[in-house]
Structure 1
Amino acid sequence: MSEDKRILQEFKLDPDNELRFEVETKNEKVYLTLKSGLAEVFGTELVKAKTYEFTAGAKVAVYTWHGCVVEIKGKTDVIYTAKETPMVVYSNCHGALEFMRADAEKDNKRGPIAMIVGPCDVGKSTVCRILLNYAVRMGRRPIFVDLDIAQGQISIPGTIGALMIERPAAIDEGFSQEAPLVYHVGHKSPATNPTLFNMLVLQLANTVKERLEVNKKTRSSGVIINTCGWIKGTGYKQLINSAKGFEVDVIMVLDQERLYNELVRDMPNFVKVVFLPKSGGLNVQRVQEVNQGIRELENISMELQKNSLYPHSFDVKFSEVKIYKIGAPALPDSCLPLGMKADDHLTKLVMLTPNAGLLHHILAVSFSEKDDDDIILSHVAGFVCVTNVDPERQIITLLSPQPKPLPNNTLILSELQFMDSH
Structure 2
Amino acid sequence: MTIQGKMTEKEFKLEPDCELRFEVEGKKETVDLKLLSGKAEVFGTELAPDKPYTFFSGAKAAVYTWHGCTLKLTGNTEGTYIAKETPMVMYLNTHACLERLRKHADEGLNRGEDTRGPVTMIVGPGDVGKSTLCRILLNYAVRMGRRPIFVDLDVGQGSIAIPGTIGAILVERAASVGEGFSQEAPLVYNFGHLVPLANLTFYNILVSRMAATVQDKMVGNRKVAASGVIINTCGWVKDEGYKSLTHVAQAFEVDVIIVLDQERLYNELVRDIPFIKIVFLPKSGGVVERTPPMRISARDDRIREYYYGLHTKYHPHSFEVKMSHLTIYKIGAPALPDSCMPADMKVDDHMTKLVPVEPGVKLKHHMLAVSLATEPKDLLTSNVAGFICVLDVDDENKMVKVLSPQPKPLPKTILILTEIQFMDSN
Which SS does the other structure have where 1:237 is aligned?
Answer: helix
- Shift in Å at residue 289 of structure 1? 4.3
1:363 aligned partner: 368
Which position in structure 2 is the counterpart of 1:22? 23
> What count of residue pairs does the alignment treat as equivalent?
414
Structure 2 Cα separation of the partners of residues 117 and 407 of structure 1:
37
User: Which residue number in structure 2 is paired with residue 314 of structure 1?
Assistant: 319
| Structure 2 residue 11 is matched with structure 1 residue 10 | yes
In the alignment, which residue of structure 2 is the partner of 1:171?
Answer: 177
Q: Is the 8 A contact 1:320 1:409 kept in 2?
A: no
Paired with 1:217 and 1:408, the residues of 2 have a C-alpha distance of 36
Aligned to 2:77, what secondary structure does the other structure show? Answer: coil
Cα distance change of structure 1 residues 6 and 144 upon mapping to structure 2, 3 Å threshold: closer
Counterpart Cα distance in 2 of 1:223 and 1:71: 35
Does structure 2 retain, via aligned residues, the 8 Å contact 1:309–1:402? no
Deviates more, 1:121-130 or 1:402-411: 402-411
| Counterparts of 1:230 and 1:324, CA distance in 2 | 28
Distance 2:414 2:78 in 1: 45
Partner of 1:84: 85
Aligned partner of 1:184 in structure 2 is 190
Show the counterpart of 1:58: 59
CA–CA distance in structure 2, aligned partners of residues 403 and 119 of structure 1? 40
Residue equivalent to 1:127: 133
Q: 1:183-206: per-residue Cα shift (whole Å, max 9, x none)?
A: 000011111111111111111111
- Given that 1:365 and 1:408 are in contact with CA atoms closer than 8 Å, whether structure 2 keeps it comes out as no
* Equivalent-residue separation in structure 1 for 2:401 and 2:203 (angstroms): 29
Change (3 A) 1:98 1:351: same
Displacement after TM superposition at 1:287 (Å): 4.4
The answer to whether the aligner puts 1:257 opposite 2:263 as a matched pair is: yes
Equivalence for 1:93: 94
Q: Deviations over 1:2-37 (max 9, x none)?
A: xxx961110000110000011232222111111111
Per the TM alignment, residue 286 of structure 1 is displaced from its structure 2 partner at its CA by 2.1
Identity fraction in percent: 60
Aligned ranges 1:183-332 → 2 under 5 Å: 183-269=189-275, 271-282=276-287, 284-293=288-297, 295-306=298-309, 308-332=313-337
CA distance in 1, matches of 2:15, 2:100: 29
Structure 1 position 129, deviation (Å): 0.1
Q: CA deviation at 1:305?
A: 2.1
Are 1:160 and 2:161 an aligned pair? Answer: no
SS of 1:77's partner is: strand
Match of 2:112 in 1: none
Q: What is the TM-score normalised by the length of structure 2?
A: 0.95
Residue 121 of structure 2 aligns to a residue in which SS?
strand
Asked if structure 2 preserves the Cα contact closer than 8 Å seen for 1:57 and 1:290, the reply is: no
Cα pair 2:372 2:413 within 8 Å, conserved: no
The answer on 1:403 being equivalent to 2:372 is no
Deviation of residue 52 (structure 1)?
A: 1.2
CA deviation digits over 1:135-194, x for unaligned, max 9? 001000000000111111111010001110000000000000100000000011111111
Report the Cα distance in structure 2 between the residues aligned to 1:65 and 1:176, rounded to whole angstroms.
26
> Residue 71 of structure 2 aligns with which residue?
70
Aligned CA-pair RMSD? 1.2
Q: Quick check: 2:21–2:62 contact (8 Å CA) kept in 1? A: yes
| Structure 1 Cα separation of the partners of residues 197 and 341 of structure 2 | 23
- What amino acid maps onto 2:80 in structure 1? I
CA distance in 2, matches of 1:386, 1:156: 15
3-state secondary structure, aligned to 1:140: coil
Give the 3-state SS of the residue equivalent to 2:347 in structure 1: coil
Selected match of 1:118 from 106, 114, 124:
124
Secondary structure of the 1:31 match is strand
Is residue 186–residue 415 contact of structure 1 (8 Å, CA) maintained in 2? Answer: yes
Q: CA deviation at 1:336?
A: 1.7
1 CA distance for matches of 2:198 and 2:7? 49
C-alpha contact 1:366 1:408 (8 A) present in aligned 2: no
- 1:288 Cα deviation from its structure 2 partner: 4.5
The answer to whether structure 1 residue 375 and structure 2 residue 376 are counterparts is no
- The one-letter code sitting in structure 2 at the alignment partner of 1:44 is T
Q: Is the 8 A contact 1:362 1:383 kept in 2?
A: yes
1:49–1:370 Cα change, 3 Å: same
Q: Deviations over 1:283-336 (max 9, x none)?
A: x2124443211x211111111123533110111111112111111121122222
Q: Does 1:390 align with 2:358?
A: no
Measured against aligned partners, the alpha-carbon deviations of 1:96-127 in whole angstroms (never above 9, x if no partner) come to 00000011011112110000000000000000
Contact 2:119 2:229 (8 Å CA) reproduced = yes
Instruction: State the one-letter code of the partner of 2:313.
Output: S
Deviations 1:30-67 (A, max 9, x none): 11111111000000001111111112221100000111
Separation in 2, partners of 1:253, 1:128: 12
Residue 137 of structure 1 corresponds to 143
Q: Distance in 2 between matches of 1:264 and 1:89?
A: 20
Displacement, 1:242?
Answer: 0.5
Unaligned 5+ runs, structure 1: none
The SS at the match of 2:376 is: coil
Q: Does the 8 Å contact 2:118/2:256 carry over to 1?
A: yes
Deviations 1:71-92 (A, max 9, x none): 0111112100000110000000
8 Å contact 2:25–2:76 — kept in the other structure?
Answer: no
Instruction: Report if the CA contact (8 A) 1:327-1:346 is conserved.
Output: yes
Shift of 1:371: 2.0
Q: Distance in 2 between matches of 1:185 and 1:268?
A: 31
- Alpha-carbon deviations, 1:351-378, whole Å to 9, x = none? 1001111101111000001122x11210
Amino acid corresponding to residue 205 of structure 1 in structure 2? A
After TM superposition, the score normalised by the length of structure 1 is 0.96
